[in-house]
């Protein structure tokens, strides 16, 4: 019922939202007389903020069409859908090889495992952009559960692991670097573990960034919430059926609007700062910076519904029972044994001030991966770095990405 009420509210706000958008445009359009009213940019900024309060944020595109190599050459980038499934697409971003020197060394592939934790994969745009000059980049682009028909069946955490296994096999494990961020660190570690246990090739490296491998360590607000309530409580209060007219009508989900409300409540300063910067850019008539901040706001607001069974699995297995950390997790009847991984280098990265995945939660992978030689294990705790700083913004560029490049570059 709550989901339906939210949809009614959106419908009621639609005329007001459209009017606010038109008013904002009237104060910036050179063909409009309102654009020459004193303080026009301030009026435009105000109406733009009103428009954003009521609008429905659709999934933005990556919009990556060029990349800059180390030698300063700008190269075109092609985006392709390699695998199209009901719950996930595998995207491939690759430089235009025709524009490169024929003697250029082959670019090693990187699989970016985007988290299925609310935001769309486009939240990792800066990660993809940074990797592209030296890599072919694959990205797991998880679909919004409200757009997946009920006939496609359920989607569990085990299914996410199976998807990652299939993608690694599809790309080819031997030259592949796997980069998993936030929630995706758990299924990525499980996927590589299962490949190793089955005697299959495993990736060249596994990079885990800011994820709850062992949520018992330095529990954050999310972990404490999961410990404080039963699974039945989450099912009663956070699970709703998708209403018409969405393709997934009738599917039980954790709705995006609840997730966005939780994110905003947990980090009001981040959301407020993003919109404040965007508003100031509009007032100052700085279209370049305004475009950058608008993209950041759009990515933050682009949140998807998660399948109920997947959400509840994550709460139970990761935050209540800690099955990966305790060695009790089984995926489709197969034990998850990180200790079986031997030929994959491991890099874990944490933020000193991460408010989503606490200190030590990602580093716990080193204790689990006992089969990896000590010389192939590395760890970084990025100073003065929050959760989102691990994959976007200046800290990503100056502290995090250089360590990833050291491991995945051509000279390794």
pLDDT of 306 strictly over 60: yes
Q: Band of the pLDDT at 98, cuts 50, 70, 90?
A: low
pLDDT of 271 strictly over 90: no
pTM for this prediction = 0.87
Cα–Cα distance measured from residue 25 to residue 174, given in angstroms and rounded to the nearest whole number = 52
Say what the pLDDT of residue 319 is: 96
Looking up tokens 């697409």, which residue turns up? 89
- Residue among 31, 8, 133, 55 at smallest CA distance from 301: 55
Give the pLDDT mean for 399-403. Answer: 96
Give the pLDDT mean for 57-61. Answer: 76
Tokens of 320: 């209540």
333: left (phi over 0), alpha (psi -120 to 50) or beta: left
Cα–Cα distance measured from residue 43 to residue 160, given in angstroms and rounded to the nearest whole number = 46
**CA-based R_g, the chain, Å:** 22
- Residue among 395, 399, 411, 363 at smallest CA distance from 214: 363
Say what the pLDDT of residue 106 is: 61
pLDDT of 182 strictly over 90: yes
Cα–Cα distance measured from residue 119 to residue 89, given in angstroms and rounded to the nearest whole number = 15
Say what the pLDDT of residue 411 is: 44
Give the pLDDT mean for 117-123. Answer: 89
Cα–Cα distance measured from residue 255 to residue 150, given in angstroms and rounded to the nearest whole number = 16
pLDDT of 14 strictly over 60: yes
The DSSP bridge partners found for residue 410 are none
Is residue 398 classed exposed, middle or buried when 0-12, 13-18 and 19+ CB atoms within 10 A define those classes?
exposed
For the segment 356-393, what is each residue's pLDDT rounded down to a tens digit? 999 999 999 999 999 999 999 999 999 999 998 999 88
Tell me if 93 sits within 8 A of 79, measured CB to CB: yes
Average per-residue pLDDT in the chain?
Answer: 88
Q: Band of the pLDDT at 266, cuts 50, 70, 90?
A: low
Better-scored residue on pLDDT, 128 or 97 = 128
Give the pLDDT mean for 107-117. Answer: 94
Cα–Cα distance measured from residue 320 to residue 328, given in angstroms and rounded to the nearest whole number = 13
Structural domains in the chain, CATH included, are 1-56 (no CATH), 66-234+305-408 (3.40.50.1820)
- Residue among 394, 25, 341 at smallest CA distance from 206: 341
């Amino acid at each position: 019922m709550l989901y339906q009420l939210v949809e009614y509210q959106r419908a009621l706000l639609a005329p007001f939202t459209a009017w606010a958008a038109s008013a904002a445009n009237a104060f910036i359009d050179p063909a409009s007389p309102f654009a020459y009213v004193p303080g026009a940019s301030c009026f435009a900024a105000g109406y733009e903020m009103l428009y954003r309060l009521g609008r429905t944020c659709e999934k933005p595109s990556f919009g990556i069409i060029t990349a800059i190599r180390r030698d300063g050459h700008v190269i075109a980038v092609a985006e392709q859908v390699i695998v199209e499934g009901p719950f996930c697409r595998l995207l491939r971003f690759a430089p235009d090889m025709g524009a490169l020197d024929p003697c250029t060394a082959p670019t090693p592939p990187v699989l970016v495992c985007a988290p299925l934790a609310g935001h769309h994969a486009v939240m990792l745009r800066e990660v993809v952009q940074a990797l592209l000059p030296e890599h072919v980049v694959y990205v797991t682009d998880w679909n919004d559960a409200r757009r997946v028909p009920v006939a496609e069946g359920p989607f569990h955490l085990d299914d996410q692991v199976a998807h990652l296994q299939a993608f690694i096999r599809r790309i080819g494990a031997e030259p592949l670097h796997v980069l998993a961020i936030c929630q995706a660190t758990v299924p990525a570690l499980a996927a590589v573990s299962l490949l190793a246990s089955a005697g299959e090739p495993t990736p060249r490296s596994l990079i885990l960034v800011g994820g709850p491998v062992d949520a018992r360590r330095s529990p954050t607000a999310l972990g404490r919430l999961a410990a404080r309530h039963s699974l039945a409580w989450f099912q009663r209060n956070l699970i709703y059926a998708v209403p018409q007219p969405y393709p997934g009508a009738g599917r039980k989900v954790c709705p995006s609007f609840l997730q966005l409300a939780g994110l905003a409540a947990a980090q009001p300063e981040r959301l407020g700062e993003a919109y404040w910067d965007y508003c100031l850019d509009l007032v100052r008539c700085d279209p370049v910076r305004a475009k950058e901040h608008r993209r950041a706001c759009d990515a933050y607001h682009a949140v998807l519904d998660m399948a109920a069974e997947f959400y509840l699995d994550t709460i139970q297995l990761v935050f209540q029972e800690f099955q990966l950390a305790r060695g009790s997790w089984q995926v489709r009847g197969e034990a998850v044994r990180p200790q079986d991984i031997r030929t994959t280098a491991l890099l874990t990265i944490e933020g000193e001030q991460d408010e989503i995945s606490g200190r030590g939660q990602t580093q716990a992978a080193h204790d689990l991966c006992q089969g990896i030689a000590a010389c192939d294990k590395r760890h970084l705790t990025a100073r003065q770095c929050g959760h989102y700083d691990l994959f976007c913004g200046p800290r990503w560029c100056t502290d995090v990405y250089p360590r990833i490049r050291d491991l995945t570059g051509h000279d390794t």
